């Protein structure tokens, strides 16, 4: 089967040759892409190939996300970052080639082993934070950190992937790409993302703080029966104190997580390098933040806060709808 099969909506099969890669297995389908394990016949190594499916090829917004990932991964080289090996086109079909990592998602680790001990949770998070510190130093903001986007190898090395929503220095903001500001996973979205802002390094700090909270407690800090409810809690709620949810957690570590989860970005760690330093030196944690968290949690969301949160969510929905409409009109005018 040739790459033409992709253009007609059929998946590649085991044994098919795609450019100079031989397909070994179909690993996953999601995010409007197909992901294959393949053998590089030129460099004699196993790799992963990510190919946009037919629906993405007809969707400029999603295709831009794919192209963005291609560009970002070319610039990064760190043990905690999925290594991009190259990209190309075959029969007009773009593809991304990355290293093959033999591991399972962090989601799998959470589902089978959480809550982890504080030592285990900090070890994993520290390595993720180190990789993200490298990204921030290279002007890359991930904006979609979540357990599903992190692999963990058998020796405990996390590997961050999926940079489709990443921002880079000087990156332009195409009209229809504005929708990406609220395309993150609600469980890990920072308040400023929910409000439709682009986000910055502190947005990633919030997401990783949420992941660390989940590793330590076995649950995300905010839950609800709908995405709207979860987003409202991120906007105005306060996460329960970790050292009360799980008494085995040191207060200093609970304070570090609470700082990551501050609603106001100015109250968080400025970037991942600062979080790495905090994890390395928990004795410097500001324990007073726990008392402020406790009082906020006890009060809960006032009627006024709920009304503000609902208003913001409605506004975000309206703005998103208008942006989508503008994109559709722009798209059909172009084609």
Query: Residue 151, SS3?
Result: strand
CA dihedral 300, 302, 305, 306 (to 10 degrees): 90
Distance, CA of 124 to CA of 158 (rounded, Å): 7
Residue 257's nearest CA partner among 231, 293, 230, 224 is 293
Residue 17's nearest CA partner among 33, 30, 31, 36 is 36
Q: Are 272 and 135 contacting, i.e. CB atoms less than 8 angstroms apart?
A: yes
Spell out the alpha helix ranges (H) of 36-100: 54-57, 60-74
Q: Is 19 noted as a catalytic residue in this protein?
A: no
- H or E, element range at 150: strand 150-153
Query: What is the layout of strands, in order, in the sheet containing 93-99?
Result: 17-18, 21-30, 33-40, 45-52, 93-99, 84-90
Cβ neighbors of 214 (< 8 A, separation 6 or more) are: 110, 114, 147, 220, 221
Which of these is catalytic: 40, 53, 130, 144? 144
Distance, CA of 211 to CA of 217 (rounded, Å): 10
Cα dihedral sign, 74-76-81-85 = positive
Residues tagged active-site: 144
């Amino acid at each position: 089967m040739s790459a033409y099969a992709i253009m007609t909506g059929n998946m590649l099969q085991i044994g098919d040759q795609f450019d100079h890669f031989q397909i070994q297995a179909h690993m996953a389908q999601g995010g409007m892409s197909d992901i294959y394990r393949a053998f590089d016949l030129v460099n004699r190594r196993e790799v992963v190939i990510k190919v946009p499916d037919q629906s993405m090829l007809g969707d400029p917004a999603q295709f831009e996300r794919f192209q963005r990932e291609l560009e970002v991964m070319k610039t990064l080289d760190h043990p905690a970052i999925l290594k991009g090996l190259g990209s190309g086109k075959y029969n007009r079909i773009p593809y991304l080639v990355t290293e093959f990592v033999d591991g399972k998602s962090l989601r799998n680790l959470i589902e089978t082993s959480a809550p982890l001990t504080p030592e285990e949770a900090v070890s994993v998070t520290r390595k993720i934070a180190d990789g993200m510190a490298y990204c921030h130093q290279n002007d890359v903001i991930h904006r979609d950190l979540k357990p599903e986007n992190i692999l963990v190898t058998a020796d405990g090395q996390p590997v961050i992937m999926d940079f489709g929503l990443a921002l880079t220095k000087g990156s332009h903001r195409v009209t229809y790409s504005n929708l990406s500001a609220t395309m993150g996973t609600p469980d890990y979205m920072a308040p400023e993302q929910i409000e439709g802002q682009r986000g910055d390094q502190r947005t990633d700090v919030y997401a990783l703080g949420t992941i660390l909270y989940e590793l330590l407690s076995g649950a995300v800090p905010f839950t609800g029966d709908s995405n709207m409810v979860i987003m409202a809690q991120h906007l105005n709620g306060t996460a329960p104190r970790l050292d009360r949810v799980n008494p085995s957690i040191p207060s200093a570590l609970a304070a570090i997580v609470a700082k990551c989860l501050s609603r106001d970005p100015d109250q968080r760690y400025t970037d991942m390098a600062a979080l790495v330093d905090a994890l390395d030196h928990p004795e410097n944690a500001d324990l007073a933040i726990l008392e402020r968290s406790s009082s906020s949690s006890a009060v809960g969301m006032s009627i006024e806060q709920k009304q503000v949160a609902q208003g913001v969510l409605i506004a975000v929905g309206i703005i998103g709808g208008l942006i989508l409409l503008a994109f559709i009109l722009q798209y059909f005018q172009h084609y």
